[in-house]
């Protein structure tokens, strides 16, 4: 099962020799890196060893290989490598769920997340917030559609997911209706974009430490310091811990209808030794959740809508299911279990367009033996989710968008990464995304509302046709990789309200 790459592939990766040049180092970070690694896996197997500079790496590219690693060696690979991006963006603290190394502090954070932030009870308690925020932004969509304005869907989706996240995190909207949010949106989008660039690009100093001066000459250090400052300025007034502390003293326990936000919960949560989380750890935790939960969900729904525009018969079938099941009211989260075709669309979209085609970096904290080979501590694990989701031994016609494959296999659960390794959009094992249930709910709910409330057409600039009357519309599906898989060309659509959209005007503000 374990194969060794040979020097014939040197033109693609530096991995294949211990004296890499800067040029070959940079080549493995190109925009199609997950696709190139998939090609290597098809030749060498689902579990490959690569030498990236001074760092040994394992690349997992099939469901079978992922199962072996996460069932037998999950704890070993549960740490994170100390990268330059992690170090600067966390000011050297590494004190959030995404970046913290495996150890007592991370285990405490994960336990708090599982029991206090993302438990089924807390998830259910925030359903009214999620519903209200989606309806809040759908009204904006109705207004824009009446003006005949093309909808830049990603921008709208980012506003929805960001407001949802900040309301659940701190009971505040980052983008208010009726206010000129253009500059703030541009800054917020820029913060997210730059965050994914610095986390996804290849930093030579992470693999060849003595070349750290090259990274500085390339401007990465100043770029990341500026990014950290931009993030602080954007979310500083949203995540005010002292304000929450004062509000809690006034509202608890007098206001029994108040749903505590995440900061409220964290302020009341005790650690094992009885102490409370320091304010800086609370802010670091919620900022990490905001970054992880906002663009991933928005990007996923944009890809889903692109696939549905490219496959109008599938889109119409999903709308027919919504009309038959939900009928004359607005769709709710409680309807999702009764919408199997919509769920199949979401699963197939996860398969085709995982938000993170290459998983966040894992690192072993001790040596281990895999397939008879011993690997030292600090071996990096690269999980190629893109390749796993297109494994031809698991999926027939893996490059075709076909939701019926999950209609036939409804038991495959995208949020159960430890049971179904053939579909793991949120990762697997101990470092699996803690927001998987929330993310899946938001993606499915946003997509359901967009389909139920509107008919959609591609804007002229989005179309590609042969020019003749009756030519089929072909949606541009070119992507690029920058930690996440983004559309090269943002999806621009025309929305026409369906009859049920009128109910949005009656929904509570």
**To which H or E segment does residue 268 belong?**
helix 262-268
Whether 410 and 343 have beta carbons less than 8 Å apart is answered as yes
Whether 110 and 272 have beta carbons less than 8 Å apart is answered as no
Class of residue 236 by CB neighbours under 10 A (exposed 0-12, middle 13-18, buried 19+): exposed
Rounded to an integer, what distance in angstroms lies between the CA atom of residue 217 and that of residue 252? 53
Residue 366 main-chain phi, psi, to 5 deg: -155, 165
Would you give the DSSP letter of residue 324?
A: H
- In angstroms and rounded to an integer, the radius of gyration of the C-alpha atoms of the chain is 23
Contacts of 81 (CB under 8 A, 6+ apart): 55, 206, 361, 363, 378, 380
Whether 36 and 72 have beta carbons less than 8 Å apart is answered as no
Query: Among 456, 449, 447, which residue's Cα sits nearest to residue 501?
Result: 449
Class of residue 96 by CB neighbours under 10 A (exposed 0-12, middle 13-18, buried 19+): buried
Rounded to an integer, what distance in angstroms lies between the CA atom of residue 480 and that of residue 436? 24
Torsion of CA 482, 487, 323, 342, to 10 degrees: -40
Collapsing DSSP to helix, strand or coil, 272 comes out as coil
Q: What is the largest CA-CA distance in the chain?
A: 72
Rounded to an integer, what distance in angstroms lies between the CA atom of residue 136 and that of residue 273? 42
Report the chain's terminal Cα–Cα distance, integer Å: 57
Exposure string over 380-418, b if 16+ CB within 10 A, otherwise e: bbbbbbbbbbbbeebbeebeebbbebbeeeeebebbbbe
**To which H or E segment does residue 368 belong?**
strand 368-370
Tokens describing residue 283 = 């802010």
Is 433 annotated to bind ligand? yes
Residue 358 main-chain phi, psi, to 5 deg: -110, 130
- Residue with token string 């992507």: 479
Rounded to an integer, what distance in angstroms lies between the CA atom of residue 372 and that of residue 49? 13
Binding-site annotation: residue ranges = 433
Binding-site annotation: residue ranges for heme = 433
């Amino acid at each position: 099962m374990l194969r060794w790459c040979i020097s014939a592939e040197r033109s693609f990766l530096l991995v294949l020799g211990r004296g890499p040049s800067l040029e070959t180092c940079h080549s493995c970070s190109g925009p199609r890196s997950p696709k190139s690694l998939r090609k290597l896996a098809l030749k060498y197997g689902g579990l490959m060893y690569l030498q990236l500079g001074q760092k040994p790496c394992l690349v997992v590219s099939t469901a079978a290989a992922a199962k072996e690693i996460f069932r037998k060696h999950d704890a070993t690979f549960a740490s994170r490598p100390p990268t330059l991006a992690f170090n600067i963006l966390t000011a050297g603290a590494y004190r959030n769920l995404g970046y913290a190394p495996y150890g007592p502090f991370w285990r405490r954070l994960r336990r708090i997340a599982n029991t206090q932030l993302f438990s089924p009870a807390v998830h259910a308690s925030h359903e009214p917030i999620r519903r209200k925020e989606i309806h809040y932004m759908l009204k904006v969509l109705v207004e824009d559609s009446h003006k005949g304005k093309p909808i830049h869907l990603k921008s709208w989706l980012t506003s929805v997911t960001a407001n949802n996240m900040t309301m659940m995190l701190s009971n505040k909207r980052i983008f208010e209706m009726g206010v000129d949010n253009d500059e703030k949106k541009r800054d917020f989008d820029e913060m997210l974009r730059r965050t994914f660039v610095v986390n996804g690009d290849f930093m030579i100093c992470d693999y060849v430490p003595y070349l750290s001066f090259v990274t500085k000459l390339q401007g990465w250090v100043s770029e990341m310091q500026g990014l950290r400052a931009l993030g602080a300025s954007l979310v500083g007034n949203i995540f005010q811990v002292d304000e929450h502390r004062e509000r809690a003293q006034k509202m608890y326990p007098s206001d029994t209808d108040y749903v505590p936000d995440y900061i409220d919960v964290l302020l009341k949560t005790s650690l094992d030794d009885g102490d409370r989380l320091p304010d800086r750890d609370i802010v670091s935790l919620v900022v990490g959740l905001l970054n992880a939960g906002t663009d991933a969900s928005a990007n996923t729904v944009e890809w889903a809508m692109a696939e549905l525009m490219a496959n109008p018969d599938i889109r119409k079938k999903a709308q027919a299911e919504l009309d038959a099941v939900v009928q004359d009211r607005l769709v709710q989260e409680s309807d999702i279990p009764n919408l199997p075709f919509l769920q199949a669309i979401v699963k197939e979209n996860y398969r085709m367009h995982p938000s993170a085609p290459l998983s966040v970096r894992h690192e072993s904290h001790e040596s281990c033996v895999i397939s008879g080979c011993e690997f030292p501590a600090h071996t990096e694990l690269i999980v190629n989710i893109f390749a796993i989701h297109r494994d031809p031994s698991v999926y027939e016609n893996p490059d075709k968008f076909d939701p019926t494959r999950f209609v036939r296999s409804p038991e495959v659960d995208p949020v159960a990464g430890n049971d179904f390794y053939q579909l793991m959009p949120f990762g697997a094992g101990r470092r699996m995304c803690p927001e998987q249930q929330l993310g899946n709910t938001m993606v499915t709910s946003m997509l359901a509302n967009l389909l139920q409330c509107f008919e959609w057409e591609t804007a002229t600039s989005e179309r590609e046709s042969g020019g003749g009357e009756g030519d089929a519309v072909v949606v541009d599906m070119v992507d690029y990789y920058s930690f996440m898989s983004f559309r090269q060309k943002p999806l621009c659509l025309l929305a026409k309200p369906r009859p049920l959209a009128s109910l949005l005007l009656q929904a509570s503000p």
